């Protein structure tokens, strides 16, 4: 058991260092030699864990995503909260925290378009089933009505991820307010719920 723990620790150490290098100098500008040097391990040790730089990047994203998914799952499972409260809190848990702004700026840099694309894909793939479970509960309670809850959530997440992912989006702009109003209107139609019942989502946009 001890060796398994050590292997995992070593793996996480490589990911920590690689992530740090990617953040500082960009993914394209970092090679595995630098990672090997910065961790202070033999080349063979790196290759025991990861076949390529791309595999390292994938593992970093998977690890970050796992943390995000764990948080969303905990909220989804908390039956003390209403379906609406849980939807609100899951959305809020996906929002980027202040200390992670560096990460956001980073994935928006042209050279990190691939990382950006993968993070978005991963979020949609992992969060869709979690939110779908909450929607299914809402259908049982009679607050939602749709024959395609999964496809519905998938559409909402893909749209929100792209449409509200502008770094320059200004919460005071009229355009953003109209966009948010249209989004909530469309959500209520997609989920087949009473007009106004998803109005609380406005708060997650700070508009």
Please give the residue ranges that form the binding site for its own copies (CB under 8 A): 28, 54, 110-111, 113-114, 116-117, 124, 146-148, 150-152, 154-155, 158-159, 162-163, 178-179, 181-183, 185-186, 189-190, 192
CB-wise, 158 or 207, nearer to its own copies?
Answer: 158
What is the smallest separation between the CB atom of 154 and its own copies, expressed in angstroms? 7
Maximal CA-CA distance, the chain:
61
Q: Is 34 exposed, middle or buried (0-12, 13-18, 19+ CB in 10 A)?
A: middle
Number of neighbours of residue 167 by Cβ within 10 angstroms: 8
CB-wise, 38 or 124, nearer to its own copies?
Answer: 124
Helix intervals (H) in the chain: 2-25, 32-39, 43-49, 53-77, 83-94, 101-107, 113-141, 149-163, 174-190
Helix 149-163 / helix 113-141 crossing angle, nearest 10 deg? 140
CB-wise, 95 or 109, nearer to its own copies?
Answer: 109
The residue behind tokens 């500008």 is 29
CB-wise, 52 or 82, nearer to its own copies?
Answer: 52
What is the smallest separation between the CB atom of 111 and its own copies, expressed in angstroms? 8
What is the smallest separation between the CB atom of 53 and its own copies, expressed in angstroms? 11
What is the smallest separation between the CB atom of 182 and its own copies, expressed in angstroms? 3
């Amino acid at each position: 058991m001890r060796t398994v723990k050590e292997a995992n620790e070593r793996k996480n150490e490589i990911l920590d260092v690689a992530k740090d290098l990617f953040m500082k100098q960009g993914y394209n500008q970092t090679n595995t030699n630098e990672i090997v040097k910065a961790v202070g391990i033999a080349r063979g040790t790196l290759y025991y864990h990861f076949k390529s730089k791309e595999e390292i990047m994938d593992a970093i994203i998977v690890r970050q995503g796992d943390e995000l998914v764990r948080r969303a799952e905990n909220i989804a499972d908390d039956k003390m909260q209403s379906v609406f409260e849980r939807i609100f809190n899951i959305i809020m848990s996906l929002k980027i925290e202040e200390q992670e702004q560096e990460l956001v700026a980073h994935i928006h840099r042209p050279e990190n378009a691939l990382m950006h694309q993968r993070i978005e894909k991963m979020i949609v793939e992992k969060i869709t089933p979690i939110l779908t479970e909450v929607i299914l509960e809402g259908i049982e309670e009679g607050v939602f009505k749709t024959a395609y809850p999964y496809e519905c959530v998938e559409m909402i997440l893909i749209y929100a991820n792209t449409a509200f992912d502008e770094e320059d989006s200004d919460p005071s702009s009229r355009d953003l307010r109209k966009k948010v109003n249209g989004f909530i209107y469309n959500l209520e139609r997609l989920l087949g719920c009473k007009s106004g019942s998803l109005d609380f989502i406005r708060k997650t946009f700070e508009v």
